[in-house]
């Protein structure tokens, strides 16, 4: 049974970062922008799409929302974040920008013909994948 779509629903993913300004600079180099209405000295709202954002939160701010202890993303994986690109070339360009900005490549390009992706760790160790699908 197919469930009905929720066209007005928005997605906000919250992740902890050690240095908010450093993380904002990193993701700006990857082409992301930030919504100033939801950005202050403890949080930055990174716009991923019309209905999706990633909230970069200082450790202290993240702890205010989380009821369980915060995991270290350099030693534990709780989630992997994936976003789409318009082309294979954009996948390569974003990945190259991530590495040039201090990110770490997870593995080489994965090419399935209809889908092409690359993965990297950000400055805090969170795993990201950028992918193109035909």
Q: According to the model, what pLDDT value does residue 8 have?
A: 78
Q: Which of the pair, 21 or 78, is modelled with greater confidence? A: 21
d(CA 89, CA 42): 34
For 31-62, the pLDDT digits (tens) are: 999 999 999 999 999 999 999 999 999 999 99
Residues 6+ apart with CB under 8 A from 63: 16, 70
d(CA 24, CA 102): 13
Given a cut of 70, whether residue 2 has pLDDT beyond it is no
3-class SS at 25? helix
Tell me the average pLDDT of the chain.
94
Q: What pTM was computed for the model?
A: 0.88
């Amino acid at each position: 049974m197919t469930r009905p779509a929720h066209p007005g629903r928005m997605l906000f993913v919250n992740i902890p970062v050690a240095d908010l300004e450093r993380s904002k600079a990193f993701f700006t180099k990857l082409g992301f922008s930030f919504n100033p209405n939801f950005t202050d000295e403890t949080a930055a709202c990174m716009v991923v799409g019309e209905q999706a954002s990633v909230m970069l939160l200082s450790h202290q701010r993240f702890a205010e929302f989380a009821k369980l202890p915060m995991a270290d993303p350099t030693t534990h994986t709780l989630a992997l974040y994936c976003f789409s690109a318009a082309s294979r070339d954009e996948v390569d360009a974003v990945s190259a920008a991530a590495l040039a900005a201090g990110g770490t490549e997870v593995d080489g390009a994965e090419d399935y013909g209809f889908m092409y992706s690359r993965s990297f760790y950000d400055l805090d160790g969170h795993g990201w994948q950028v992918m193109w699908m035909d």
